[in-house]
Copies of this chain bind each other. A is one copy, B any other.
Amino acid sequence: MQLQLQTWQEVEAYLQTSRGIILPIGSTEQHGPNGLIGTDAICAEVIARGVGEAAAALVAPTITVGMAQHHLGFAGSMTLRPSTLIAVLKDMVESLVRHGFERFYFLNGHGGNIATLTAAFSEIYATRSLGAASNLPSIKCRLKNWWQNQEVHDLAKGLYGNAEGSHATPSEVSVTQFAYPEAIKSALLEPPVAPWGDFADAADYRRKFPDGRIGSNPGLATPEAGRRLYDAAVAAITKDYRSWVHA
């Protein structure tokens, strides 16, 4: 149930049955030589839509540009500054609060969004917390990374072991290959498994990870694995959403 494909009366009817909404958030950033720039947004979007179907939950339009300053050394990457992304999230949540939504489930596809998303939740809550006599409705936000559940974790480990890495992983590339089989890319990956390390700004990142990958071998990605990961993620997250939204 994509919000974008509803009429306002349909949303009004939905609000009679639920106060929850799923908001996919990804990123627009390099994912190595064979990963798509939209990888994180695609993963978040397709899994969110799967969960939306399974849980009869509304799914907001995907936030496609996230916090990715460290990837700006690679062409095509885009970022919002953390302060900008906080303002965006605040406006989006406040818009939906206006209609009666009270549970905001952010389905995230990008590790680099985690801190800013969490800070944004506090920025939103702070408006309520700083006003003692406030009569604003009580709301809750939840951040859920699509890969953070036992099912996906076990599956990825079984499929790729240490070659999973932490950026441009074979798991996320697989999910995009499942979602967009027409956009599967092949590229020489040298070395097959990329180096590990930490990073600061974009120049530092590029210096340490010359082709953009961290610790991963996305050459192992397949659309079949993508389908399995997608199924596992949808099942696990549907369960999590259902128990949370009704709590």
Contact = CB atoms under 8 A, between A and B. Distances in A.
Q: How many copies are assembled? A: 6
Interface residue tally of chain A, by bracket? 35 or more
B84 A8 contact: no
Nearest to A81: B126
Given A65-B61, A91-B84, A126-B79, A8 B74 contact: yes
Contacts of A140: 200, 204
Contacts of A97: 132
A35 B9 CA distance: 10
A131 B116 CA distance: 21
Nearest to A90: B84
Given A4-B42, A7-B187, A82-B119, 14 more contacts: A3-B37, A6-B76, A7-B185, A9-B33, A28-B61, A41-B61, A69-B126, A77-B99, A81-B123, A82-B120, A84-B88, A91-B130, A121-B200, A129-B203
A17 interface: no
A209 B176 CA distance: 42
10 contacts: A3-B28, A11-B76, A70-B125, A77-B99, A80-B87, A81-B87, A83-B83, A88-B88, A115-B116, A125-B201
Interface in A34-88: 34-38, 41-42, 60-62, 64-65, 67, 69-70, 72-84, 86-88
Contacts of A220: none
